Copies of this chain bind each other. A is one copy, B any other.
Amino acid sequence: MVIVMVPKAKKSQIDKVINSVKKDGLKPHVSKGEERKLILVIGDERKLNLDHIKAIEGVEKVHPILKPYKLASREVQKEDTIIKVDHLKIGGDSLVYMAGPCTIESEKQLIKIAKSIKKSGAQILRGGAFKPRTSPYAFQGLGEKGLKFMQKAKKETGLVTISEVMDTHDVDLVAKYVDILQIGTRNMQNFQLLKAVGKVKNPVMLKRGMTATFDEFLMAAEYIMSEGNKKVILCERGIRTFVKYTRNTLDLNIVPVLKEMTHLPIIIDVSHSTGIRKIVRPMARAAVAAGAHGLMIETHYSPEDSYSDAAQTVDLDEFKKIVKETQAIENILKNMN
């Protein structure tokens, strides 16, 4: 860490910084800058109470050198994390497809969709039983009943399953019925929930918050990992910007950047990051071309009749085309390297 003092900082102020650094067990080193003093901190700066340093009168700025996360970083683990569920691998060289309805509506609906997407190449079935709706008056999901349908769909098709958990209360319940727990974008910094899913055995897919920075995203993963659960999958789902035409702005830059910063797999939710059915396919192609480990796509046999997110849901035929085109890109790129 480099601590920058204001020009003409008093000796007493510099001493306060030095003492604060020493108190946290680190070594301060005052530089011979011309216009202002710099204090270098030698040692693991993550042990420092940044808040205290910043608050000392005479401190102008603080530049951290180290990343705030550890377990999620490439520095701690060099090789890619590969998460195994049944016979499926998520991460590394694999490309996975998560598809299914936004909301679980009935057993029949779910199984019909499950069978079709499996045939098209999907390995994971998604479906919402607990739904985060912006209106309290909107349908909130089938709850446990929906989860039971997921279990049944898995039995019939062999697909791995994923569903969202919204409350610490429901973690065990969801973990009992489905393979992978999903944390939604609005809960990316629901720290109690992160800790709770950090204690179960199921893998967790963590969606990026609507305006989370890359560091905040990885710190949320760190919350889960610090409780013992290392099976974390990251999911970009678009960020909120001034653009209103699309539901969100898909930030694909994050894919190659995260692949440098972390060993965890990265999935792109192409439905929420666009919000428009017609542009799901080109964006799915772009995500795979950028190097994503997988795609999540809301899929329904009759999108116009789905309970929620209908405008961004693709039909079963379109899903098939998406798999075909993205696999072609995946193959051509693999053969070139």
Which chain B residues border A134 with CB–CB below 8 Å?
68, 189, 216, 219
A257-B241 contact given A33-B42, A311-B51, CB 8 Å threshold: no
Residue of A55, A133, A215, A291 with most chain B CB atoms under a 10 A cut-off: A55
Q: Which of the candidate stretches A146-154, A164-172, A174-182 sits at the interface with the other chain?
A: A164-172
Q: Does A279 contact B (CB under 8 A)?
A: yes
Interface string of A281-299 (1 = CB under 8 A from B): 0110111111100000000
Are B286 and A252 touching (Cβ within 8 A)?
yes
Are A32 and B33 touching (Cβ within 8 A)?
no
Q: Does A121 contact B (CB under 8 A)?
A: no
**Category for how many chain A residues contact B:** 35 or more
A260-B278 contact given A169-B169, A187-B190, CB 8 Å threshold: yes
Q: Does A173 contact B (CB under 8 A)?
A: no
Give this chain's copy count.
Answer: 4
Min Cβ gap A249→B in Å is: 5
Are B213 and A242 touching (Cβ within 8 A)?
yes
Q: Does A325 contact B (CB under 8 A)?
A: yes
Q: Does A328 contact B (CB under 8 A)?
A: yes
User: Which residue of chain B lies nearest to A226 when distances are taken between CB atoms in the complex?
Assistant: B136
Are B285 and A289 touching (Cβ within 8 A)?
yes
Q: Does A52 contact B (CB under 8 A)?
A: yes
User: Which residue of chain B lies nearest to A32 when distances are taken between CB atoms in the complex?
Assistant: B42
Are A136 and B40 touching (Cβ within 8 A)?
no
User: Which residue of chain B lies nearest to A291 when distances are taken between CB atoms in the complex?
Assistant: B282
| A264-282 with Cβ < 8 A to chain B | 273-274, 276-279, 282
Are B190 and A33 touching (Cβ within 8 A)?
no
Residue of A57, A273, A290 with most chain B CB atoms under a 10 A cut-off: A290
Are A253 and B250 touching (Cβ within 8 A)?
yes
User: Which residue of chain B lies nearest to A140 when distances are taken between CB atoms in the complex?
Assistant: B191
Q: How far is the CA of A16 from the CA of B193 in the complex (A)?
A: 42
| A190-224 with Cβ < 8 A to chain B | 190-195, 210-211, 213-216, 219, 222-223
Q: How far is the CA of A190 from the CA of B306 in the complex (A)?
A: 24
The interface of chain A, by Cβ under 8 A from chain B, is 2, 4, 7, 16, 29, 31-36, 38, 40, 42-44, 46, 49, 51-52, 54-57, 61, 63, 65-66, 68, 75, 132-137, 166-169, 186-187, 189-195, 210-211, 213-216, 219, 222-223, 226-227, 239-246, 249-253, 255-257, 260, 273-274, 276-279, 282-283, 285-291, 303-311, 313, 324-325, 328-329, 332-333, 336
20 A/B residue pairs, CB under 8 Å, sorted by A:
A2-B2, A2-B38, A29-B32, A34-B42, A56-B304, A68-B134, A132-B191, A134-B189, A166-B190, A167-B193, A213-B245, A246-B253, A246-B257, A252-B252, A252-B286, A256-B282, A289-B329, A328-B332, A328-B336, A329-B332
Task: Please name 5 further chain A to chain B contacts, defined as beta carbons within 8 Å, in addition to the given A29-B31, A282-B290, sorted by A numbering.
Answer: A40-B40, A55-B304, A136-B194, A328-B333, A329-B329
Kindly list the 7 A-B residue pairs having the minimum CB-CB distance in the complex, ordered from nearest: A55-B310, A289-B289, A285-B289, A167-B192, A186-B189, A286-B286, A286-B290
